[in-house]
Copies of this chain bind each other. A is one copy, B any other.
């Protein structure tokens, strides 16, 4: 695997799993007051489009990053709705 794909996979891993601590924090604290609802809506929509973009280009780092990011952020959105 050439270095640019490795860079993409490292970037994808960092940005993707960065939402795990946010998900856990919101789940544990049962509080999402400071997390912007508008951000979650637009971000989830955008990540969904990035996923289509990655699939079309067959770019593995983009596909992996956005599929998992979408999963985490839909859960954070659900917590935001649940805990307000």
Binding site for B on A (CB under 8 A): 4, 7-8, 10-22, 24-26, 29, 31-36, 38-43, 45-47, 49-50, 52-53, 56-57, 61
Report how far A2 CA is from B43 CA in the complex, Å.
23
Report how far A45 CA is from B8 CA in the complex, Å.
12
Q: B53 contacts A14, CB within 8 Å?
A: no
Report how far A25 CA is from B80 CA in the complex, Å.
15
Q: A8 contacts B53, CB within 8 Å?
A: yes
Given contacts A42-B14, A56-B4, contact A36 B49 (CB under 8 A): no
Q: A11 contacts B50, CB within 8 Å?
A: yes
Q: Which 5 A-B pairs have the closest CB atoms?
A: A14-B46, A15-B46, A11-B49, A18-B42, A34-B34
